[in-house]
Structure 1
């Protein structure tokens, strides 16, 4: 693999039945490519958490995954409300998910903490009223 393989996904807002399809597809493709199980697990967890956050909070968005021999980069971009307090949002257990979402088993406040835990680098670029872009890297 000389150049990056780029995969793109659209995440639909409020569609919990399809949430996780992008991360599942990436997991499958990484397995076919022979990427280590540990790296696949990290990518799948981090990307799934981000995907769910986009469904719950952000009116959907787009995910771009770039795979090189050195790393897997996931960029999750949405046009949601933005994150008012990133430090607070990074605290385990903090959630702004509505009760209807919690009743489905989501919104426990572990999304962003797990995204950080399972990646080697994570950057959050957020602007209130405009949206959020989260870039995550898993080194191979």
Structure 2
């Protein structure tokens, strides 16, 4: 993964609260506005909005809370979604479309269909997930800005 120290880049960070469905989606919406103000092309904005929304919802639904960090450079948007646990027991299984550990109360709200991680991977040019049961999960996604 390409990492940048922030020189010549814009850094954004959003705290995501467990089970806070009333604010869920705010981070991805704000990121979308910033990218639009920067004149980033619509297809890049759309993909970035999808991955950040899915990451945000996964933190709200499945974790003890966390944060989303975004670094926007002229050549890429890097999104790092990091939660405070409890980790993913089986990443391979979690990456399968339709697999979900969301509780019924979340499914009744219309979330937890098991498409979050697959959508994040599909919409990213680079995708990496680090997790283990009982620890934090860190998902790093990069979307290239083609000039």
Do Structure 1 and Structure 2 share a fold, with TM-score over 0.5? yes
Identify the range of structure 1 (122-131 vs 29-38) with the bigger mean alpha-carbon deviation. Answer: 122-131
TM-score (normalised: structure 2): 0.93
Residue of structure 1 in register with 2:120 after alignment: 115
**C-alpha distance in 2, partners of 1:128/1:94?**
17
SS at match of 1:77: strand
**C-alpha distance in 1, partners of 2:140/2:105?**
28
Question: Matches of residues 86-105 of structure 1 in structure 2 within 5 Å?
Answer: 86-105=91-110
- Structure 1 residue 42 and structure 2 residue 47: aligned? yes
Residue of structure 2 in register with 1:8 after alignment: 13
Q: How far off is 1:80 after superposition?
A: 1.5
Paired residues, what number?
Answer: 139
Q: How far off is 1:89 after superposition?
A: 0.4
Q: How far off is 1:127 after superposition?
A: 2.4
SS at match of 1:127: coil
SS at match of 1:72: strand
Pick one of 26, 50, 58 that aligns with 2:63. Answer: 58
Structure 2 gap segments, 5+ residues each: 1-6
Structure 1 gap segments, 5+ residues each: none
Indicate the structure with greater strand content.
1
Residue of structure 2 in register with 1:20 after alignment: 25
RMSD: 0.8
Residue of structure 2 in register with 1:79 after alignment: 84
SS at match of 2:67: strand
Deviations 1:18-54 (A, max 9, x none): 0010000000000000000000000000110010000
**C-alpha distance in 2, partners of 1:67/1:86?**
27
